[in-house]
Chains A and B, each alone.
Chain A
Amino acid sequence: MRISLLMRGALVQLLERLLVPLVLLVPLASVSFLAGCGGNERSSGGGTIVIGSGQDPRTLFPPLADLTQAREITELLFEKLAERGPSLNTLGDSGFVPRLAQRWDWSPDSLRVTFHLDPRARWQDGHAVRASDVKFAFSVYTDTLTRSRMRRDLIAAVDSITVGDSATCTAWFHQRSPERFHELVFSLTPLPEHLLRGILRDSSAMLAFAKSPAGNGPFKIVKWEQQVRLEVARSETFSGTPARFDRVIWTFAPDASTLFKQFMAGESDFLENLTVEDAAAAARQPDRRVIALPDYGYNFLQFNLRDGASARPHALFGDRALRRALTMALDRQLLARSVFDTLGRVGLGPFVRAQWSADTTLRQIPFDRAAAATLLDSLGWRAGKDGMRSRNGKPLAFSLLVPTSSKARQTLAVLIQEQLRLAGVSVAVERLEGPAIGKRVTTGAFDAQMGGITASPSPSGVKQTWTSAASKDGLNFGHYENGAFDAQVDSATSANSKPNAKAHYRSAYQIIVDDAPVIWLYEPPTRAGANARLQLNAAHPDAWWLGLREWSITPGKRLPRDAVPAQKP
């Protein structure tokens, strides 16, 4: 009993004692906080840009960094041989800008190209960048154990890479395909052989490298706190034109609304992928700017033409006429407008309007609810009392996978569900996160999905996404296979002139549009937001981060965070 009274007294005393310091601590800390970050406006450093991002990159190992989140960081940490220039040309080598390679020359038969590397180039640990690093990188990319998605493109174009002296290497191509130079320099990033050779099969060492790689680019990694932030600083060992920012910081928040609030509050300076509403709200602010990025994405409703993982045709979508009827039942114009307002543009086929192969005159399947109904009736899908159709007691119903990461696709899925309901088709929407969708789609465990592809300026991407070869080993998850389409694509990618290629692309596009393996929905307008304090000196048309090394902070608009110098890692 005595102990208890003592303890109770002690507890109360403890509470009383804690109260005062706690109450004092908050204002005290705020004052010291202000003192800690104020001033220092005089510093003339390059400043700090904060970029809002929805997701961590999963890895910073270039062969595996194929998603945008990873590319925008690795392409600042690593320097490629050459970069596709602002012209976005992908044929031959015209327009390509020298990076690690100062120049290159072709063999007379155009089957070899020799790169002359910058002799001053250094890895961020101080070692020189050698030609053997390029050769080594090729061996890593093409090793099946690496599982790089760039492997297919690389081995399709390049036979091997040989080393001349420490600063020259030669790439040997299989054939004179028009985009062979692009395939090589776009896919391949040189890797530091002296750091990686011994650890390629050691997963924990590779994990460490993928988290904090030593690159040869204009920035080096300083700190990566998963899901919170990633900081890179200007690299002193970089031999090219140095970047102007001292630091680039990504902050990560999973949902778009938080990111947008951060951007509007000035906590971040740059935000890619604004929704149409957010872009409008940002444009109303005098010190926020909205930038239209070139639109390389196209989104679609993809049918699975096969029954699960088997080779049998899907009970519904194996039927071309049914797919066409479903396409007719959708008012795609209204769908695009209801999500993107006036910026909404209907998808036309497996291409985007920004590609040179684009063709807006293709014969499209028109929106016609009555024709769709007639067609469905003729296929034996009769409407019941509730208006929903069925055939031999089997309802006309399917499930539609939608990634939770895409607000637009979720909205559209709901709208599509409603429009198809009017046609007597019942759709169950399944919302899943990206990786879960990936698993279902790659194993064939789906009826239909709301898919999207970010195309590159080169139209040859259709090879990886819609041909029969891509159905076996590629991104053609719906297993659309049509020999006539494949043949036209092959002719187009090996054609020697642009008009010739364009004609073949047109024929290919018309075939796939008529077959309706997917419903081409829309090309999303891509808008980025930038704080007006940024000077966006170079806007790179296809990948904004490639211009970032030339961006800077407007002198009068510096913030306390701009005074923080590039730190030693």
Chain B
Amino acid sequence: MRRFLLARGAQAVTVIAIVATLAFVLVHLAPGDPFASNLDDPSNSAELHAAQIHHWGYDQPLAVQYVKWVGNLARLQFGWSHSRGRWVTDVLRETIPRSMLLMGTAIVFGVFAGVALGTWQAPRRGSMAEKISGSLAIVTLSMPEFLVAIAALAIPAARWHWFPVSGIVNPAMHDSMNAAARAGDILLHLALPAGTLALLIAASVSRYQRMAMLAVLPDEFIRTARAKGAAEHDIVWRHALRNSLGPLTTIIGLLLPTLFSGAVFVETIFSWPGIGRMMVEAVGTVDYPLVLAGVLAGSVFVALGSALADVLAAFADPRVRIDA
């Protein structure tokens, strides 16, 4: 087990190292001095520009620059964001937790709904209800995230006023609320963006869950339980469900990149100030340090997330080994 953990950890680190190197190559392929735009910004002095060039070692040989780049990353220094007029690290410190909250909520609710749907579908294989719900899941999976988000924003929020239109908290009330009300305020703002992502996760998870259940249901122990006279409901929701959850963590790990891509659109449409919207805006304002920090954060998130998922899966079932 320890060897597996080490191998999986090493794999994640390798992946992050390669992404960081690719980012380094990209920033050097990009035309011009990546801090040049600072000069157009009246709030930044020429000294700041020079200091940055020096800080990032742009006045040194490429090999030295690469070492410096790695060193700066290790100390979580990503440079100056000219479009925000702040250090990138400060921007990340605000945006990452917001994205984690959004995606975490979406995973929790999406996985629950997906597992429930798949478990419910399996014993009804071939029935009309199963066919309809299954087709709905496939239709949902065929919809681009931004389309679902637009619909969610246009109808329940903008037309019916059931939910706030955008943002993360009630701007005028949040600070004067008690703790429970604050949590409620955040949940209310989370509902639509997280719900959009959760819907897509649920559709995907339900398909795996249905298959996992179909694989488990004919098993020996299920027949034993049935022979013992256990109720059909208990057989499905207790025995079979329990034994079908093995691959779930692996599947969540595999869904992470898709989830992150979805978050880019959902955050943009709901004005959720997380890392996805940050990336889109950084691209629009040609803010290289912010773009690179965003892509690094995204890959670290995905690499660590899937490593964690694999480790959890290995704990749950040591027979499962992913070739490192």
A56 and chain B: residue at smallest CB distance: B84
Contacts A11-B245, A64-B42, A253-B271 given; indicate if A30 touches B184 (C-beta within 8 A).
yes
Is there contact, CB below 8 Å, between A59 and B43?
yes
Number of residues on chain A facing chain B (CB within 8 A): 69
Most A C-beta atoms less than 10 A away, residue of B108, B176, B188: B176
Partner of B286, one of A18, A404, A439, A567: A439
Q: Is the beta-carbon distance between B241 and A8 smaller than 8 angstroms?
A: no
A433 CB within 8 Å of chain B: yes
Structural contact, B184 and A8, CB atoms closer than 8 A: no
| B-side interface residues, number (CB < 8 Å) | 61
Determine whether the beta carbon of A254 is less than 8 Å from that of B43: no
Q: Mark B149-175, 1 if CB is under 8 A from A, else 0.
A: 000010001100100111111111101
Q: How far is the CA of A12 from the CA of B316 in the complex (A)?
A: 11
Contact indicator per residue, chain A 1-40, by CB within 8 Å of chain B (1) or not (0):
1011001110110010011001001101111110111000
Q: What residue of chain A has the Cβ atom nearest to residue B95's Cβ? A: A227
Would A35 and B273 count as touching, CB distance under 8 A? no
Q: Is the CB of B286 within 8 A of A210?
A: no
B83 within 8 A of A: yes
- Interface SS of chain A: helix
Give the distance in Å from the alpha carbon of A551 to the alpha carbon of B41 in the complex: 35
In residues 260-304 of chain B, which contact A (Cβ within 8 Å)?
271, 273, 277, 281, 284-286
Q: List chain B residues, Cβ under 8 A from A231.
A: 171, 175
Assess A58 versus B43: contact at CB under 8 Å? Given A251-B171, A261-B157: yes
Among candidates B164, B175, B285, residue contacting A267 with C-beta atoms closer than 8 Å: B164
Q: Which residues of A contact B94 (CB under 8 A)?
A: 225-226
Chain B binder among A111-119, A143-151, A320-328 = A143-151
Q: Which residue of B lies closest to A18 (CB)?
A: B108
Closest to B115 in A: A15
Taking a contact as CB atoms under 8 Å apart, the answer to whether B176 and A32 are in contact is no
User: Is A358 interfacial (CB 8 A cutoff)?
Assistant: no
Residues of A within 8 A of B245 (CB): 8, 11-12, 15
B45 interface hit (Cβ, 8 Å): yes
Complex contacts, B242 vs chain A, CB 8 Å:
8-9, 12
Most A Cβ at <10 Å: residue of B94, B166, B245, B319: B166
Interface centre among A3, A37, A560 (most CB of B within 10 A): A37
Give the residues from 163 to 220 in chain B that come closer than 8 angstroms, CB to CB, to chain A.
Answer: 164-173, 175-178, 180-185, 187-188
Q: CA–CA, A433 to B175, complex, Å?
A: 33
Q: Let me know if A253 and B43 touch, CB within 8 A.
A: no
A251 pairs with B167, CB closer than 8 A: yes
The answer, yes or no, to whether B317 is at the interface (CB within 8 Å) is: yes
* Residue of A with least CB distance to B111: A15
> Contact at B317–A8, with CB atoms within 8 Å?
yes
Q: Which residues of B contact A253 (CB under 8 A)?
A: 166-167, 271
B86 close to chain A: CB less than 8 A: yes
- Whether the pair B43, A33 counts as a contact (CB closer than 8 A) is no
Q: Is the CB of B108 within 8 A of A228?
A: no
Q: A32, B43: Cβ atoms under 8 Å?
A: no
Bound: A362/B176 CA distance, A: 58
A564 partner residues in chain B, CB cutoff 8 A: 172-173, 175-176
Give A29 to B318 CA distance when docked, in angstroms.
40
On whether the beta carbons of B172 and A249 are closer than 8 Å, the reply is yes
The verdict on A458 contacting chain B, using a C-beta distance below 8 Å, is no
28 contacts between A and B (CB under 8 A): A4-B315, A4-B316, A4-B317, A7-B315, A8-B316, A11-B316, A28-B180, A32-B183, A33-B180, A36-B178, A36-B184, A48-B172, A58-B84, A58-B85, A64-B42, A210-B43, A228-B167, A229-B167, A229-B171, A249-B172, A251-B171, A253-B166, A265-B158, A265-B161, A265-B165, A435-B37, A439-B40, A564-B176
- Lowest 3 A-B CB distances belong to which pairs? A36-B181, A33-B184, A29-B184
Q: Besides the contacts A32-B183, A561-B172, what 20 more A-B pairs have beta carbons closer than 8 Å?
A: A15-B115, A29-B181, A29-B187, A33-B185, A36-B181, A36-B184, A37-B177, A56-B84, A147-B43, A226-B91, A229-B167, A253-B271, A267-B164, A433-B285, A434-B285, A435-B37, A435-B285, A438-B40, A564-B172, A564-B173
Q: Which residues of A approach B to under 8 Å, CB–CB?
A: 1, 3-4, 7-9, 11-12, 15, 18-19, 22, 25-26, 28-33, 35-37, 48, 50, 56, 58-59, 61, 64, 145, 147-149, 203, 207, 210, 223, 225-229, 231, 247, 249, 251, 253-255, 258, 261-262, 264-265, 267, 404, 432-436, 438-439, 442, 560-561, 564, 567
